[in-house]
Structures are given as structure tokens and as C-alpha cells.
A and B are shown apart, each in its own frame.
Chain A
């Protein structure tokens, strides 16, 4: 009976894993690089230097809005967190707001540089692209993407639980990795990557589902609220703007407002500043706390009188339910994480990505031994898709980075074309995977990714003002980290490509000798 149950879990694990594996790989890989979302955005906009002083930026943003939109109904300033740079200002004109076409750029948007002056940066989604891709996917309504991602994540949870059950010697094999033994090594590697970072895998999958739980399991909401809008209005109410009085009054100085907020939030900083009725006697300044200050993701807000600068009201999450959910979202996104912890998150994410990839490769490694003749259609399809996904996706993401550097800055829809470049690269990689022999497919795509990544920092040094040496001189640790990270990632891909090339040579030599019977799935 016990054997039967474990066997059933093995089947469940294998087939659910294969069904959603490629999407999970995309989610894990892009989610993992999203731990460097701000750094990637900084790298993607080399026009903007590092931010030194938030108050300078805020004052600059207010001055810019005052000069360009003194009669606006409201202003909004999105401030960079400590790892990012460049504030963004937008404003809404008086009267009925025109609904913005989804995806269209806000024509009022201006980027404010670290010196408080407007700066023109290339049009790019930067790190936000990878972040969005990992739960919205692309080229489809975000809500569809979220359902696909939710479906796959649910199966990830199934795969984690069934994987633990089907892993016979989870403790005996805890520290075991036997390299150079084909299927055995892939299984060892898959198990080790899974077991060693198991707390992370379970946490990230579960909390990932929690972040979008209102979409997936809406019944708690629908049972208690007439509409979803009513639920959002109560769970995340928006501070309404008062009616303008029509009397002119100068806006209070923003400096003391920031100081009060920092005092109220134990040194916390605002992420968004909204100013309603600027220049009117009924002006209000609404400060929303940035997410990187605290573990719990939620709404911390202080409303100031825009003329006197006095605090009018403030809110913060209080209900146990909101704090629990906010805590789970917070730990998933890791926005709060300082560098040490961020690296632990990132490395665990790398382990998770490699776990999914090794699981996909294991499916073919196991069947290659069994089938002998590998001209079986299903096998052929999975083997080629594995190359196009596991090796092709990082190549495509590298294509995005190169497009960011090479597309002309004045190009219309430039940010979209960076994304198109990524998917065109990916399509090319998939075609390549089907026309080349598997061995060449793996080696060529992995080494091309490696070379393209290693060349990026060299291009930056030659063609942008913020190469590795410039950033070292400027003490800009985020960009130094990015350049070194690109080099290290590229080197890793080259190393993997070399290992694949070497091991297949060895395997080719072994094939001449009498074949050993394949070991069973453990």
C-alpha cells in the first residue's frame, strides 16, 4: 500500500511538473531577477545618476509641477526607494478626467533626476518588465496571465508536496550529489536543489498565490460585499480630495512635511506624494509610505493640510487579517530586504529556477535511458521545447538587455520594441532548438547567452557614461553590482555550456561500450 501511494505520487509529480514546468521556469527565472528590479531599472536608464538626497528630488519635483501645471487638479510624485533613482511626476487637469488608454504613456509624466531637475531618459520598462512578466505574462490581458500563473503555481504546490512524498530517501540523500552519472546526477541535483531551499520554495509558491488571492478565491469577498469595487473601497480606501475653495493660497514647504512623516514612521520615507488642489486654500498633501521600509505590505498614509502643513489624519494597517496577508506579500516580494537577505532570497530563487529546469531535463534524461530509440514524437517535442525554454529564455532576456542598449533613443514605442526584441529572440531560439541537433542546440544557445552577457559590460564601458569603471569611481554600488552581476552570470552560462559540451563528449565515448542498465527513479 505504502509503495503504491508513493508510486502514485511519483506519477503525479512527473506529469504535473511537465505540464506546467515551462511556465514555472519563466515565473521562477523572472521572479528571481526581479529581486534586482530597481537595479535593473537603474541599469536600463544610464542617463540617471544615483540619488543622494530624497529631499532635493522632492523639492525639484514640486518646483517642476509648480512651473508646468500650476492649475492642475492634483499632482503626483512617485519617489525612488533607496535602491532606485529618478522620481516621476504626473498631474491631472481640472474637470472630468479622460480615461487613459491602457498601456498608453501618460503625457504629463516627467522624470526628475537626483539633482531635482527634469531629465530625459530612454523609454524603457527596465526591471519592471521582468517583474510584470512573472505574473502578468505578456501579449494578453493581465487578468488572463494571472489566471495562467495562478493555475501553474497551484500545480507547483502540488509538485512540491508530491515531490517530498515521492522522494524516498529525503534524509539519507540530504547531502548527496553524484556528478557525471547521467540520469542519477540529474535526479540528485534536482533533489538537492529542492530540499536545500525547500522552505523558500514552499514559501514563495504559497505567498505568490496569496498575493493574487482575491482573483483566485473571490468567495470571501463576493459573500460579504455587493461588488469587488465595494470590497476594494473598504479594504484599500482612497483618501478623497476635498472640493477646491477657489481662494489662492501658497503651498506649504515640503521639507517639514517630509520630516514629520519620517518621525511618524520611525525614519520611514514616502513612496508616493499626492497633492490635491495645489495653490488652493483647500490643498491637501497625501503621503503614502514606500514598500521597501517595512515587511508588511499595506497602506500607511498621512494626510497633511497643504497650506498650514499640519497633520490632518493618518492610517496604517491594523486588522490581523490585513497584516497577515500584507506580511505574506511582503515576504514574497522582499521589498523590505536589506542586501544580505536580498542575496539569500536571490540565491534561493536561483536554486528554485535550477530545480524546475533540472526537473524538465530529468524528464528526458529518464526516458532517453528507457526508450533507447529517441525518435518518439513526445520525447522529441519535450526535448526540443526544453532547449527553447531552459536555454532560450535567458537568451531572450539577454536580448531585451541588448535592445535596451541598441535601439535608437528617439524611436517611437521604444519600450514596446525592447519587449518585442525579447520575444523575437525567444522565437528564434525555439526555431533553432527544433532545427539543430539537441546537443548543438544546448551548447550554442547557452554559449551565445554567456557571450552576449559578458559583452554587455564592455559595451557599457565603451558607449555609456556609466560603465564599471565610471561607476566604481562614482561609488555607485548598484551599477557596479549590475555590471559584475552580468559578468558573473555570463561566465556561469559559458561554464554550463562548456560542461554540457564536455559531458556529451564523454557520454559519446561511453555509448560505444556496452550500456549499463538504467537506475530506477529514486
Chain B
């Protein structure tokens, strides 16, 4: 369950990062279209909410949100590190 919730947080933040001009440009080479940005933002948010639902299902209403907040940090950090250190296109 921990792994599932962590992966959801990671995916959610990856989608949110991809919805940003700078990171989309670095990864894909172009700025994202408006519709695509919206879509990525919505998807990222929903996946993060899904991670909360999974956390509450796994650990209950008291512990679930605590796990979720910790896993949000643990999920966002690798996205930041990947965007920083993974090889990418020159801007």
C-alpha cells in the first residue's frame, strides 16, 4: 500500500511538473498547448487526491493523511531531482 500511494504521489507530481512551461520545454522541447496544460494539471491533481484516498483506505482517517503528507514530500523530491539531473534538451 505504501508503494502504491508513493507511486501515485510521484505520478501526480510528474504530471503537475509536465504541465509547467519550463519543464515541459526541457522534456519535450516545446511549450505545452493550453488544453494540454489544463489536462495535465487536472490529471496530476486527481492522482494526488487518489493517493489520499488510498492512504485513508490503508491507514484510516487519522493516520492516512499523516502518511499522505509524508508521501507527498517523498514523491515530489524524486521529480525535482530527476528534472535537475536527468539528461535533457538544451533550452
Bound-complex Cα distance A200 to B16 (A) = 21
Bound-complex Cα distance A347 to B74 (A) = 8
| B73 adjacent to A347 (CB under 8 Å) | yes
A161 contacts the other chain (CB 8 A): no
B4 contacts the other chain (CB 8 A): no
Contact of A196 among B62, B67, B77 (CB under 8 A): B77
B87 contacts the other chain (CB 8 A): no
Contact of A177 among B69, B71, B73, B80 (CB under 8 A): B80
Q: How far is the CB of B80 from chain A (nearest CB, A)?
A: 5
- Are A344 and B73 also in contact (CB < 8 A) when A175-B20, A176-B22 are? yes
**What chain A residues lie within 8 Å of B17 (beta carbons)?**
174-175
User: What's the count of A-B pairs with C-beta under 8 Å?
Assistant: 57
Q: Give the nearest-CB partner of A347 in chain B.
A: B74
Contact of B70 among A176, A177, A179, A341 (CB under 8 A): A341
Interface of B is mostly: helix
| B73 adjacent to A200 (CB under 8 Å) | yes
Q: Give the nearest-CB partner of B82 in chain A.
A: A175
A173-190 to B contact mask, C-beta < 8 Å, 1/0: 011111100000000000
B10-22 to A contact mask, C-beta < 8 Å, 1/0: 0001001100101
Bound-complex Cα distance A348 to B22 (A) = 27
A326-345 to B contact mask, C-beta < 8 Å, 1/0: 00000100000000110011
Bound-complex Cα distance A314 to B9 (A) = 43
- Are A200 and B70 also in contact (CB < 8 A) when A174-B17, A175-B17, A175-B20 are? yes
Q: Give the nearest-CB partner of B67 in chain A.
A: A341
- Are A340 and B66 also in contact (CB < 8 A) when A175-B79, A196-B76, A351-B73 are? no
B23 contacts the other chain (CB 8 A): yes
How many residues of A are in contact with the other chain, CB < 8 A?
22
Bound-complex Cα distance A348 to B72 (A) = 11
A295 contacts the other chain (CB 8 A): yes
B39 contacts the other chain (CB 8 A): no
Bound-complex Cα distance A351 to B70 (A) = 12
Bound-complex Cα distance A176 to B84 (A) = 7
| A196 adjacent to B84 (CB under 8 Å) | no
Q: Give the nearest-CB partner of B16 in chain A.
A: A174
- Are A199 and B23 also in contact (CB < 8 A) when A175-B80, A177-B84 are? no
Bound-complex Cα distance A192 to B77 (A) = 9
A197 contacts the other chain (CB 8 A): yes
Interface residues on B, range: 20 to 34
| A197 adjacent to B73 (CB under 8 Å) | yes
| B66 adjacent to A172 (CB under 8 Å) | no
Q: Give the nearest-CB partner of A198 in chain B.
A: B73
| B20 adjacent to A344 (CB under 8 Å) | no
Q: Within residues 38 to 91 of chain B, which ones have a CB less than 8 A from any CB in chain A?
A: 62-63, 66-67, 69-74, 76-77, 79-81, 83-84
Contact of A199 among B62, B63, B69, B81 (CB under 8 A): B69
Contact of A175 among B63, B67, B83 (CB under 8 A): B83
Q: Within residues 342 to 366 of chain A, which ones have a CB less than 8 A from any CB in chain B?
A: 344-345, 347-348, 351
Bound-complex Cα distance A178 to B22 (A) = 13
Q: Give the nearest-CB partner of B72 in chain A.
A: A199
Bound-complex Cα distance A295 to B64 (A) = 12
Q: Give the nearest-CB partner of B76 in chain A.
A: A196
Q: Give the nearest-CB partner of A179 in chain B.
A: B84
Q: How far is the CB of B22 from chain A (nearest CB, A)?
A: 7
**What chain A residues lie within 8 Å of B76 (beta carbons)?**
174-175, 196
| B67 adjacent to A344 (CB under 8 Å) | yes
| B80 adjacent to A192 (CB under 8 Å) | yes
**What chain A residues lie within 8 Å of B70 (beta carbons)?**
200, 341, 344-345, 348
**What chain B residues lie within 8 Å of A200 (beta carbons)?**
69-70, 73
> Which of B63, B70, B71 counts the most chain A CB atoms within 10 A?
B70
**What chain B residues lie within 8 Å of A340 (beta carbons)?**
2, 67
> Which of B20, B66, B74 counts the most chain A CB atoms within 10 A?
B66
Contact of B23 among A175, A341, A344, A345 (CB under 8 A): A175
Q: How far is the CB of B5 from chain A (nearest CB, A)?
A: 10
**What chain B residues lie within 8 Å of A176 (beta carbons)?**
22, 80, 83
**What chain A residues lie within 8 Å of B80 (beta carbons)?**
174-177, 192, 196
Bound-complex Cα distance A192 to B70 (A) = 15
Bound-complex Cα distance A351 to B13 (A) = 18
Bound-complex Cα distance A347 to B80 (A) = 16
**What chain A residues lie within 8 Å of B71 (beta carbons)?**
344
| A199 adjacent to B2 (CB under 8 Å) | no
Bound-complex Cα distance A295 to B62 (A) = 9
Q: Give the nearest-CB partner of A201 in chain B.
A: B73
**What chain A residues lie within 8 Å of B73 (beta carbons)?**
196-197, 199-200, 344, 347-348, 351
Q: How far is the CB of A3 from chain B (nearest CB, A)?
A: 23
Q: How far is the CB of B83 from chain A (nearest CB, A)?
A: 5
**What chain B residues lie within 8 Å of A177 (beta carbons)?**
80-81, 83-84
**What chain A residues lie within 8 Å of B62 (beta carbons)?**
295
> Apart from A178-B84, A340-B67, what are 4 other A-B pairs with CB-CB below 8 Å?
A174-B16, A175-B80, A175-B83, A347-B74
Residue pairs across A and B with Cβ atoms less than 8 A apart, 28 shown, are A174-B20, A175-B13, A175-B17, A175-B23, A175-B79, A175-B83, A177-B81, A177-B83, A177-B84, A192-B80, A196-B76, A196-B77, A197-B73, A199-B72, A199-B73, A200-B69, A200-B73, A331-B66, A340-B2, A341-B63, A341-B70, A344-B67, A345-B70, A347-B73, A347-B74, A348-B70, A348-B73, A351-B73
Q: 3 closest A-B pairs (Cβ-Cβ)? A: A344-B70, A199-B69, A177-B84
List residues of chain B with CB under 8 Å of any chain A CB: 2, 13, 16-17, 20, 22-23, 62-63, 66-67, 69-74, 76-77, 79-81, 83-84
